[in-house]
Structures are given as C-alpha cells and as structure tokens.
Structure 1
Amino acid sequence: MARNRYDIDEVMEDHFDLGQLKRLGHYVLPFKKDMALAAFLMLSASALTMLIPRFFMTVMNDIIPQGDVKGLLRISFYTLLIILYSVFSLKAKIKITNRVGQSVIHQLRTDIFCHLQELPFSYYDDRPHGKIQVRVVNYVNNLSDLLSNGLLNTITDLCSLIFIIFFMLSINVKLTLMCMCGLPVLALFASLIKKKQHRAWQIQSNKQSNLNAYIAESINGIRVTQSFVREKENSGIFNRLSDGYRQSWMRAVRFNFMMGPTVDVISAVTTAFLYVAIVDMAMSGGTASVGVLVAFTGYISRFWSPITTLANFYNSLLTAISYLERIFETIDEPVAVKDAPGAVEMPPIIGKVTFDHVSFSYEEGIKTLDDVSFTAMPGESFAIVGPTGAGKTTIVNLLSRFYNIGSGTVYIDDTDISKVTLHSLRTQMGVMMQDSFIFSGTIMDNIRYGNRTATDDEVILAAKTVCAHDFIMQMEDGYYTQVNERGSRLSAGQRQLISFARALLADPKILILDEATSSIDTETEIILQKGLNELLKGRTSFIIAHRLSTIQNCTRILYVDKGKIQESGSHEELLLNKGPYYNLFMSQYSFMKDKAVQ
C-alpha cells in the first residue's frame, strides 16, 4: 500500500486469486474435528431426507393399493424420525459453525492487530489510520457469514446435490438428464460476470475504506473543524464519499442479485419441461408408475435448492475475496524495523551514545539527515535545537530504532543497535514523544504504561517529581480518575506532565524528551526544571526544545539545520561563537523582552 489519503483509491489486484481462500482455510484447519462433526450431521441428515420421496413412491405403489395400514404407520414413523434428526442436526450445526466462525474471525483479527503493533512508523506515515482500522474491523466482520455458514453449507449442499442426482438416476435417467440440462447455462452465466463482479466488490471495498478514513480524520480533527467553521465543507466532502460508497455498493450487489433470479429462471424453465415430460409419460401409459412420477416430482424441487445455496455461496465468495485481499495484504506487510538475524540482547546500558556518519531519508532522494556524527558520554545531557523540519526528532527516532538507518551506524556503549533485539533496547530507554498520547483508562494506568511492575507509591513519586501530583489530586478520583482517549479531559500541559511521569517511571539510562515542556506554562516550567536537574543525573539524555530556557544547563547543544549539525557546544560557547544558535537565542530573548514590556 503506497502513500495514500482518504480521497485516493488503493491499488487493486485485477485477477481472482483463489489462493486467498486457501490461505483462509489454514485458519479453519485447527477446528477440523468440529467442522467434520457438523459436516457428518448435515450429510447424514441430507442423506436420510432423500429417502422421504422414496417412501412416497412405496406408499403410492405398494402400501395404498394393498391397504397396508401398519406399513403406512411404519413409514410415517420413519419419516418423523428423519425430520426430528434433521432438526437436531441443523441446531447442532448452527451452534458448531457459529463457534468455529467467530473463533476464526477472532484469530484473524488478532493476527492483523499483533502485526500492526510491529510495523514501523513509516507504515503509519504513509496511509490514513481509518483505512487501517477498516481492515481490522469491517473487512473481518464481513467474513463472518462465509465462515459461520457458507463453507460448510456449500460442502453439505454439494453432497446433497450428489445424493439427489443419485436417487434421481436410480428412478429415471432420461428425466434426470433433462433436469441437469440447465446447469451448463448457469455455469456459463457465472463465468461471464465473475470478473466484473469481483472488480465491483473491490471498488466497493475501496470506497468503504475512503469513507472510513475520512470519518476517522474528521473525528480526530473536530476541534479544528469547529474552530475554523468548516462543518459545511466537511459535510459536503462526507456526502461525496458516502455517495461514492453507495453507488459502488449498488453496482456490486446488482451483480449478486443477478445470480438468484438467473437460477430461478433456469430452474423454472427446466422444471416446466420436466412436468410436461412427466405428464406425457403418465398420459401415454409409459413404463413409469404413479409412485415413480410422484417421487421424481419430489426430487425436482430438492434439486434446485442446493444449487441456489451454491449460487449464494459463489456471491459470498467473490465478496470475501475482495476483503481477504486487503486483510492478507496487511498481514503480509513487511516489518521493516525488526530484529536482525542473530540479534542479541542489549547488555545493561551505561549510556554512551555515538552517531557515526548517519544519513536518513523519509523519501527517496530527499535527505532528512546527512552525515551526522557526534558522541554523548554517560550522564551527559544533549540538547538538539534548530528550525522546524531540520531533523531533530529524526535523530532521537533513529536512536530508538523507530526507523532503519539509511547509512552509517548508531552505537550505544560501542554496541551497534541494529545488532540487538528491539525489546532489549527500548525497555532500557525512556521516551516522551512530541505527541503526548493518553490512553483510555485511569491516570495511574497511563503513568504506569511503560513500567507495569511499578507500585502506586512509585507512580506517585514520579508524578510529584514532574509537578503533576497537585493537579491530579484536584481531580474527582485522584490517580484513579478515568480519562478519555487522547486525554480530552486534560489540558495540553497536563497531558505532557503525565507523559513525562510515564517516561521517568521507566527509570531509563537513556532519556529522550521531545518538546517535553512545550505546553507547560513558565511558572510550572521553573518548578519542573528543579526536578529535571535531579532526574537527569546519571542518565544520558537527549532534549529537543524550542524554548532555549529549558536547555541552557545541558552539557552540549547541537544546532541542526538542513540535516546537518551546523554547530555544537555548551550554551556559553555557542553564544560566544555568535553563529546560528546565538541568532536563535537573541531572537527569543528579544521576543520575551518585548512581551514583558507589553
């Protein structure tokens, strides 16, 4: 899936790939015993019900002419037993197939979600999140009927059709062949519309994906929408996408609905010819007895019932293939950032960090970092400053291995981080990203997110250190106050403080703070700085900040611009150089001075 947006359709496969269905079968394989039991129940019930028309033939030919009341009661009793067994089998089949179908869906959805957890940031950078979500929820849900009923019903109905044909042939070969003459016509029709039908469902899945992407984007940006009074324009975009989905749906189901009437027409025509032939045989005094004709008439109605089910399954199959393509495409998405073959556990980190001629690009031909080199010794604090888009966040993202390095090497304690496992690396690092994401749950759970073994006292201590304790205790349930997704109940500053406590609670040897104080007021920042000075002791830290007041005490400051380190040194050294950092500092100082005068 290439870089995409809500109004751009995803690339589709043109061919009908039954391999997707075979792959789905591997998910059903663990439940083969359950499926075999359900199949046995349905096949045995189907085979037994095939005897009922034979019973009618016996009744018409022998029992009624002979006045055999006991024989009639006996056959009636057998018929009742068959019907009761069929009802029992159907109930058991429904229970088994629903359980198996939902278990398969659960496993399929779990595989997608777990795979999404491993995909790198670049995967999420390139596509709307709504288009990812629709695959995990909607597309998998659309397979429910196919898995719960379609596969097994098709097998049982196919076997039932074979049983019916066998019994019909045993009664009259000529009439059986007349009944089957409509099947080639049906097969030809299905083959003619298959490609168009498959394409129509692919387009429908694309339009559904686009609509879902825009809904997700609109919900996430609702504050901006209302702030800029964009409701009317957004509603217009939504209506256009929704109408595109509606039209694609109507076109797709039109192909599906063509199959049912086609089966009905073919069955009606062939049945009419059969009835004419049967009546002609009866009127001409042919060899067929009345019982034979009655039995055969009973089989005619049963003959087209499984064919109708098979036609419906064919429709479901074409629909499912279009969804399976997207589901397995997601599962097959390569994990670009993963443990290298033979990766070892990262030893306990001391804190030395080295960037050795590192280059990186998000897009081909555009370098975000260009030959960056520096070394941070254990316990040193490195500040990274520079204009927007200079590559500051990219440096710390590469240190955490959120992206693969284009060229060069990053070392921690002289160990190449590309040769160690991601889990052993990231568990020893504390990261507070620029996006202070808050998960649904309590404040306590959010702070404990990076260290599940931390006690309540340790959580509270971390919150006190970053000056979050006071505002947390003012909330209705303190640390056990429920917060919504993205922390909508909290201010931007409060979200950052909670995220800060979360990073610090992990007690990392390397601490990364990306714009950690950007949403904190000046008074709180002064208090927080005292706690930070204590926390940064003994840790190698990387601090990205636009507020230069927060980084003046750092061991070294790197000024990054155009993907390169333009200058580095302490705050005092850089001011004496009167280079880019000096200009940045003076511009901020002048702005704050003017603001204070006002």
Structure 2
Amino acid sequence: MKAKAFDTRLFKRILHYTKPYQWRFNGVVVFAISLSVFSALRPYLLKQTVDSYIQTEDASGLLLYISLMGIVLLLEVFSQFYFVYWANWLGQDIVKDIRLKLFKHILSFRMKYFDLVPVGQLVTRSVSDIESIARIFSQGLFMIISDLMKMVVVLIFMFYMNWKLTWIVIVAMPILVYITRIFQRKMQVAFEEVRTQIANMNTFVQERVTGMKIVQLFNREDIELEKFKIINEKHQNAWIKTILYNSIFFPIADIISSLTLGCVVLYGGIKILNGDHFTTFGDLFSYTMFISLLFNPLRQIADKFNEMQLGMISANRVFEIIDTQDQIQDNGTIEAPVFNGNITFKDVRFSYIDNEEVIKGIDLQVKSGETIAIVGSTGAGKSTIINLLNRFYEIKSGTICIDNINIENYTLNSLRKQIAIVLQDVFLFADTIYNNITLNNPNISREDVYAAAKKIGVHEFIMSLPDNYDFDVKERGVMLSSGQRQLIAFLRAYVSNPSILILDEATSSIDTYSEELIQRATETITKGRTSIVIAHRLATIVNADKIVVMDKGLIVEEGSHQELINKESGYYKNLYDSQFSLAE
C-alpha cells in the first residue's frame, strides 16, 4: 500500500492513539484557537493606535493601546508556549504507545520472518520511522490547524477593516495555493524515496558493522566502501531533490507575498493621496502585518505538509509491520506442567520454502529421562527438529507430542518455559554475566545462580573475572572466549530448571580446557531429564542412550553407539570411522 498525503483511513488510525490523551488533544486545539485570535488582534490594535491616537496626537489613548498591545503579546506568547509544549508532549506519548505495540508485535513473530526481513530495516521502523510519526503532531497536524485558524481569523479582521483592500489579497491567494499544491505533490514522492534510502543505508551499515570481522578477514574493505559510496550517493540524491523543491518554492512564495503587499500599499496610497477616505494610514500599517500573518502560514503549510507526509509515510511502514500476521498461532489452552519428558514425532513434515521439504515424514520417540543424540551431515535436518519442538516454526503435517499431548495444545509461553536450549553460537547481551544468566528473571536469585555455578563447575571461572558475576561482557559477549560464552549458556540453561534440555552443537568449537568443563556441565545438567544432543563430534555422544542418524531430512539409523558401530557399511559407522581417521 502506497502512503498518501491525506490517506483518511491511515490518518484516522493514527488519531485513534490520541484517545487516552483526549484532554491534552483538546487543550492543544484551544491554545491553537487563542493563538490565532491574539496574533490577528495585534495588527488591528495597531490600526486603532495609528488612526485614533497617533494622528490625533492623543498621548493618553496612545499609552492605553500600547499597553493593550503588550498584554495581547504576552497572551500570544503564553498560548504559543503551551501550544508547542503540549503538541510535542502528545506526539511523544503517541510514539511511546506505538513503539511499545510494535516491539511487542515483533517479539511474537516466527523465526521465518526474521530469516526474510533485514535487521536494519526493523531497526529503522522501530526508531527513526516511529519518531517521524511524532512530528505529525508536533510539526504537522496541529501546526496546520493553527495556521488555518490564524488565516481565517486574519481574513475576518481584514474584511471587517477594509474589504476593498482585502480583495487584492484574495486574488493573489489562489496562485500561492496552486503552487503550494504542486510543491506538496513533488515532496510526497521525494520523501518516499528518502525513507527508502534511509532504510537501505541502515540495513547495509548494520550488516557490515555486525560482520566486520568477515569484511576485514577477506580484505573486503575497499569493495564494501565502494558499495557504501553508491548507497550514500543515492541517499544524498534523494535529500537533494527535497532541497531543490524547497529552494524553488519558498522564493516564489516570498515574491508573491511581496508583490501582493506592494499592490496593497500602491492602491491604498493612491486612494489616500486622492482624498478617498475608504482607507486610512492605519489600514496600510496593519495590512503590512496582516499580509505577513496570512501568507507566511500559507507558505509554511506546505512545509508542514512535508512533515505530515514524512510522518504518514513512516506510519504506513510501521503499520505494515503491525498488520503483518506472521506469528506462531498460540491457541493452546493447557498450561505445560513440569514435563515427564516423553517426546513423540509422528510423520512430521516441514519445509522452509514451499515444495522443498527439509523434514520428510520422520517418526521419532524419546523416552522420559533419556539422552538421545542426533547426528548427520550438514543440512540433514538436525537443528530443524529442535526448532519444531520449540514451535519456532510450524510443521507442514504430522504431530509432535510431549507426554502424549500435542504441543499445539500447550500455551506457547508455558511450553518454551519447560525447554532450554544451548546453541553453538551463544548470544550474550551487552550486560553483566549475572543478568545474562538469569535474563532478568526475578524468580532466580543470586544464591540459586551461585549454587548452580558451583554444581556444574563454572563458579571459579566467573569469580576469576573482574567484578565476578557483575562483569560486563559487552556487545555479544566479546569480552569472553567462545568456550567461556558456552559455559555461561550452560549455566543459563541449568538455572532455568527445564524439563527438556537441548544441546545444539554445544561443543563444536571450544578449547580443551573449556571442553573438560563443558563435559562436566553436560553430565550435570542432563542428569535426570530428557535431553537431546545434536553433535558434530561423535566422540562426545558415545554414551547417549540412543543415537539417531539423519540424512536429507530422513532418519536412516537408530540405536546405541555400540549397535550402530557394529553395522557393516552403516551410515554412522562410516561417519565415525571417518572422524576417527581424521583424528589419528
């Protein structure tokens, strides 16, 4: 859906967010009205001062009207302050609500959505696009309302004072309105391009900064710089187009305003010199202010429309994400208890891309308290199984049951609370070790963390760090080695006390010392609970109760290590012999 400058449906949707702040919304309108009245009252008082007291040399009356003008000016300043302050305040409250709704919605998306949508684009929508929505209220809507009311009140005063001079101004206004309309349409297209280029730049920069190690490792600096130059130039060109339109429009608007003022002064001056009393010197003085009050808002309305367009375009992009229905269906009604841990896959099929099945009708049974290992070549579907068990993705057909109940019947939150995963690529937040372990779960105390760390043998390692458990690991845990990050992940899984534990390639890239700690941690956290271990190094899973061998989305072998190793020309035996030969 393409954003429009006056998309009524979209605009009503934005206004819906003002309902909790209706009193402030109404207050802004009241101050906009009072501001327009006080602005138009000053030139009228100036006319009365010139005609009634300066020309008649009435000093006392002059002092009175000067005092009145001062009071009106103070009221105008007061109205201006509260108008601007409350309009911006309202805009920020609305942004806060929309941003919260957007982030909550993003948290519910399936993993497939994040596979397809660039992170930089989501960041742009959540930060800069939403901030532009605030400008609809702070710089757009209310400013336009205020300017329109100011123009209406000014015209009423002008017609009341001198309708003949006012018609000269009225004749010039359609020309400015027509030019403003053309300018507004051009700016709508220009701002659409600006937002697109901002999103492209954010996506590019975010990906390159995140993958800087790869960029430098493969000497891609010059290549990426050239790519960035192209994106940066497109971004610049989009903004230059908006600058060009502004540079053309505002001088033309100033010329029209100046010519109109000249015509009023010329016509009124000639009439006064010829003794025609339909106008006065006070009229001419006041009209120099009235024309400015009338034409400046009209000219600025175009600029405010730009802000409205920018905000509407941004709102359209944000609402596209909010309207995206890509969530895992959480229709379950059963609160998952502490599982016994019996897991059953029955004729399960799944594909990331339509008509390209990754899991091809597998049957798998895991008994309570059993540790099974899943092995196979890259792309066999090992990690996909745990993604389906956690309902990160929806299966195409078949059923997955835990304790004889379809996992779709459990509430999503309670299901995932009973399953813990330790991944090969551990993600740590830029926070303390303690917060990365507990993930700010208030139900996990420091004593629980200390006890768990001692039990799996990582307490000494943490205590050796500066600030111990309050050590800041920085972004993605860069202050720790891969083995240390892995140990933190094990402790994170252990303190959550899951019914089912999944280790996904958790020991594939660690040093010997860390491997010893992790082997000890593995033995501790898998004891007494159902565990699924996805392993690349077969030496680490020889003691598993059952080993499941996968190839091309199918289970091709099952059994204990000894049973599988005794199969002549078996898939597992060939895989094990190959690894053993490489180790030798």
After TM superposition, is the score higher than 0.5?
yes
Gap regions ≥5 residues in structure 1 = 1-11, 594-598
Match for residue 561 of structure 2 among 564, 571, 575 = 571
Q: Could you say what secondary structure the match of 1:50 adopts?
A: helix
Kept after mapping to 1: 8 A contact 2:424/2:507:
no
Task: Quote the offset at 1:280 in angstroms.
Answer: 3.1
Whole-angstrom CA distance in 1 between matches of 2:392 and 2:214: 29
Aligned with 2:377: secondary structure?
coil
Give the TM-score normalised by the residue count of structure 2. 0.94
Q: Which amino acid aligns with 1:353?
A: I
- Which residue in the other structure is 1:189 paired with? 179
Q: 1:474 aligns with which of 451, 464, 472?
A: 464
Spell out, residue by residue over 1:474-522, the C-alpha distance to the aligned partner (whole angstroms, 9 max, x if none): 2112112111111001111111111111011111111111111122334
Q: Map 1:255-404 to 2 at 5 A.
A: 255-290=245-280, 291-340=282-331, 343-404=333-394
Q: Gaps (5+ residues) in structure 2?
A: none
Structure-to-structure mapping, 1:46-445, within 5 angstroms: 46-290=36-280, 291-340=282-331, 343-445=333-435
Bigger mean CA deviation after superposition, 164-173 or 13-22: 13-22
- Hey, what's the Cα distance between the residues in 2 that align with 1:94 and 1:197? 25
Q: Are the equivalent residues in 1 in contact too, given 2:456–2:525 (CA < 8 A)? A: no
1:142-183 CA distance string (max 9 Å, x none): 344433233222211111111011111112333323212233
When structure 1 is superposed on structure 2, of 403-412 and 37-46 the one drifting more is: 37-46
Call closer, same or farther: CA 1:307–1:190 in 2, change over 3 Å: closer
Please say which of residues 289-298 and 312-321 is displaced more in the overlay: 289-298
TM-score by length of 1: 0.92
Aligned to 2:11: 21
How much has 1:54 moved relative to structure 2? 2.4
The number of residue pairs the alignment matches comes to: 581
In 1, Cα distance between the equivalents of 2:174 and 2:97?
Answer: 39
2:357 is paired with a residue of what secondary structure?
A: strand
**TM superposition shift of 1:565:** 1.0
Aligned-residue offset at 1:401: 0.6
CA–CA distance in structure 1, aligned partners of residues 558 and 517 of structure 2: 27
Partner Cα separation in structure 2 for residue 103 and residue 69 of structure 1: 51
User: Which residue number in structure 2 is paired with residue 490 of structure 1?
Assistant: 480
Q: What's the counterpart of residue 542 of structure 1?
A: 532
CA contact 1:14–1:199 (8 Å) conserved in 2? no
For 1:428, give the aligned amino acid.
Q
Conserved 8 A contact 1:450-1:503: no
Is the 1:451–1:505 contact (alpha carbons within 8 Å) kept by the matching residues of 2?
no
1:44-75 per-residue CA deviation (whole Å, 9 max, x = no partner) reads 23313322332233233333455433222221
- Quick one: distance in 2 between partners of 1:250 and 1:582? 66
Distance 1:528 1:464, change over 3 A: farther
Q: Contact (CA 8 Å) 1:131, 1:212: kept in 2 or not?
A: yes
> How has the CA–CA distance of structure 1 residues 253 and 111 changed in structure 2, closer, same or farther, with 3 Å as cutoff?
farther
Letter in 2 for 1:302: L
User: Would the aligned equivalents of 1:556 and 1:570 in 2 still touch at CA under 8 Å?
Assistant: yes
| Greater displacement, 342-351 / 498-507 | 342-351
Seen in structure 2, the aligned counterparts of structure 1 residues 527 and 497 have a Cα distance that, compared at 3 Å, is closer
Deviation of residue 531 (structure 1)? 4.0
Deviations 1:1-24 (A, max 9, x none): xxxxxxxxxxx7375534333322
Shift of 1:257: 4.0
Deviation at 1:451, TM superposition (A): 4.4
Distance 1:47 1:558, change over 3 A: same
Moved more, 416-425 or 225-234: 225-234
Q: Which shows bigger deviation, 301-310 or 263-272? A: 263-272
What SS does structure 1 have at the residue aligned with 2:352?
strand
SS of the aligned residue for 1:142 comes to: helix
Distance 1:389 1:465 in 2: 35
Q: Secondary structure at the match of 1:363?
A: coil
User: What percentage of aligned pairs have identical amino acids?
Assistant: 35
Q: Is the 8 A contact 2:136 2:312 kept in 1?
A: no
- Could you tell me which amino acid in structure 1 is paired with residue 402 of structure 2? I
Which deviates more from structure 2 when the two are superposed, residues 510-519 or residues 315-324?
315-324
2:419, 2:501 within 8 Å by CA — same for their partners in 1? yes
TM-aligned CA deviation for residue 195 of structure 1 = 4.3
CA deviation digits over 1:543-563, x for unaligned, max 9? 111011121111211111111
Taking the aligned partners of 1:394 and 1:196, their CA distance within structure 2 comes to 49
What is the CA–CA distance in structure 2 between the aligned matches of 1:48 and 1:202, rounded to whole Å? 37
Judge conservation of contact 1:450–1:505 (CA < 8 Å) in 2.
no
Q: Distance in 1 between matches of 2:316 and 2:247?
A: 23
Q: Is the 8 A contact 1:450 1:502 kept in 2?
A: no
Task: Kindly provide the amino acid, as one letter, of the partner of residue 335 in structure 1.
Answer: D
